[in-house]
């Protein structure tokens, strides 16, 4: 009896795929391939940028040390609470004061920073952002399908 069912199940009509399905899959794989190449290039560029930035930072280390006290002169918790109190009392004046002190801080910082140090910081930041973006793209699931454990592909 079951043999007869086996035979029938083997003869079940099956629906052929649409004629362009294979071409669409080829295109999808090609897009994925191009995206992977693009991200590989981004990764390499991020690595190069990060390394370049690191080298520049090392070469202008003495400048960086000189800038550290200026960079460290950011407002602490008590001055922040004072500013909040002043802001609640007179918002306009507090904002003007804040802008003034920000400009003064930036001026003090930029006096000590040379082009190399600035370029180094920028390159290091760009490298870190590129590397982070590459990591996030790699971790994202494809097409919304989940990836299970073990040999599940």
Partner 1 sequence: MEVRTSPSPLALKLSRPSIVYSIRAVNIPDDELPRRALRDDPAAFNLLIQRHTPPVYRIVRRMCSDRAEAEAITQEAFLRAWESLPRSKSERPFRPWLIQIAVNAARDALKKSRPLDFADLPGDEALQIASAEPGPEEQLESSEALARLAEAVQALPAPYRMAVALRYEAEMSYEEMAQALQLPLNTVRTHLHRAKGILRQTLERDR
To the nearest whole angstrom, how small is the minimum distance from the Cβ of residue 1 to partner 1?
Answer: 5
Q: How far is the CB of 15 from partner 1 (least distance, A)?
A: 6
Closest approach of Cβ 104 to partner 1, in Å?
54
Choose among 43, 74, 64, 68: nearest CA to 120: 64
Closer residue to partner 1 in complex, CB, 24/104:
24
CB closer to partner 1, 33 vs 41 = 33
Closer CB to partner 1, 72 or 150, in the complex: 150
- What minimum distance in Å lies between the beta carbon of 45 and partner 1? 20
| C-beta of 136 vs 142, nearer to partner 1 | 142
Sign of the Cα pseudo-torsion (126, 131, 137, 140, in order): negative
Binding site for partner 1 (CB under 8 A): 1-2, 4-6, 8-18, 21-22, 24-26, 28-30, 32-33, 142-146, 148, 150-153
Q: Which is nearer to partner 1, 22 or 132 (CB)?
A: 22
Describe the crossing of helices 21-59 and 61-71 by its angle, rounded to 10 degrees: 90
In sign, the C-alpha dihedral spanning 85, 88, 90, 94 is: positive
Distant-in-sequence contacts of 137-145, Cβ < 8 A, 24+ apart: 137/39, 138/39
Q: Minimum distance from CB of 132 to partner 1 (Å)? A: 21
For 115-146, give one letter per residue: b (16+ CB within 10 A) or e. eebeebbebbebbeebbeebeeeeeeeeeeee
């Amino acid at each position: 009896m079951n043999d007869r069912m086996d035979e029938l199940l083997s003869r079940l009509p099956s629906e052929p795929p649409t004629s362009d399905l294979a071409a669409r899959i080829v295109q999808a794989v090609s897009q994925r391939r191009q995206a992977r190449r693009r991200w590989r290039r981004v990764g390499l560029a991020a690595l190069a940028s990060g390394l370049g930035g690191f080298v520049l930072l090392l070469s202008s280390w003495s400048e960086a040390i000189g800038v550290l006290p200026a960079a460290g002169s950011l407002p602490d918790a008590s001055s922040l609470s004072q500013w909040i109190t002043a802001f609640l009392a007179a918002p306009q004046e507090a904002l003007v004061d804040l802008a003034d002190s920000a400009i003064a801080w930036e001026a003090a910082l930029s006096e000590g920073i040379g082009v190399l140090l600035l370029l180094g910081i920028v390159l290091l930041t760009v490298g870190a952002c590129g590397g982070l973006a590459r990591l996030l793209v790699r971790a994202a699931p494809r097409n919304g399908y989940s990836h299970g454990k073990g040999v599940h592909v």
